[in-house]
Amino acid sequence: MIRVLVWNEYKHEQSSEAVAKIYPRGIHNAIADFLRCDDIEVRTATLYDENMEISDPTCGITKEILDRTDVLIWWGHMAHKFVPEEVACLVRDAVLSGMGFIALHSAHHSKPFRYLLGTSCHLCWRESGDSERLWVIEPSHPITRGIDRCFFLEPEETYGEPFSIPTPDRLLLIGNYSGGEVFRSGCLYCRGNGKIFYFQPGHETFPTFYVPEVQTIIRNAVRFVAPTYRETITCPHVRNINDPEGYVIVK
């Protein structure tokens, strides 16, 4: 059983009527709904509670919760700064220990994603009702399984290059937009013991998370980034390989 935690700001859905119509129970529940299945169990956590308050200073993320999470999915947009440093570092360290991490859409600017990649993760952007077509670059990768040569999103917010990220370990999808831009829309990284997948679709004002291909890719990604090995990385003092007392001392 893969234990997924879907984290969402949960702000736009409560402050904008248009967004609320698309995602009445929040983006986190829309994602949870299509993910739940025989081998995937899903919980959710949000920054804002149902009174639009940040009542829980941990944003629903503690070390204990992350220890019981195989894959953390992150959606955030306008409130990245309200995620405490300690929480962002807990997430980063859990990923380095092996937890899978999926950053969706504007989570390119979230603290955990930026801290894990090290770059600004800036990009070009435009909200203008462009449509997007996403093309599969690696048809044999498990994350693109079941996807045709390309699929269509009408509309989606435009994200354009240059996207300031480290060269992905694997580039799986490239999107192009009716207004001109191209974007590396599906990027896979290994960091420490963990796997990270960035997936560009998912603007809050569009019903993107109801699109079958988007759901397929996120479900595939959950299975792909789920850990097979998880261990906190340390910086051990080691003895000479031939030392009779044994060679590793973890300080």
Restricting to residues 211-240, name those near a second copy by CB under 8 A. Answer: 227-231, 233-240
Closest separation in Å from C-beta 50 to a second copy: 31
| Residues 172-211 close enough to bind a second copy by CB under 8 A | 174-176, 179-182, 184, 189-194
CB distance 45 to 31 below 8 Å = no
Using the rule CB under 8 A, is 245 a contact of a second copy? no
Nearer to a second copy, 44 or 97 (CB): 97
With respect to a second copy, which residue has the nearer C-beta, 65 or 182? 182
Q: Could you say which residues in the range 38-77 bind a second copy, by CB under 8 A? A: none
At 105, give phi and psi (nearest 5°): 50, -115
Q: How many chain residues interact with a second copy (CB under 8 A)?
A: 72
Burial tier of 17 (Cβ tally within 10 Å: 0-12, 13-18, 19+): exposed
Site for a second copy, residues 80 to 109, rule: CB under 8 A: 92-93, 96, 98, 109
Omega before 162 within 30 of 0, i.e. cis: yes
- Measured CA to CA, the distance from residue 85 to residue 76 in angstroms comes to 15
Q: Residue 136 and residue 132: Cα distance in Å, rounded?
A: 13
Q: Please give the residues from 114 up to 143 whose contact with a second copy meets the rule CB under 8 A.
A: 115-120, 122-126, 128, 130, 133, 135-142
How far, rounded to the nearest angstrom, does the alpha carbon of residue 107 sit from its chain's CA centroid?
7
Instruction: Identify the residue among 39, 166, 210, 212 touching a second copy (CB under 8 A).
Output: 166
Cβ-Cβ contacts under 8 Å for 56 (sequence gap 6 or more): 49
Q: What is the nearest approach in angstroms of a second copy to the Cβ of residue 193?
A: 4
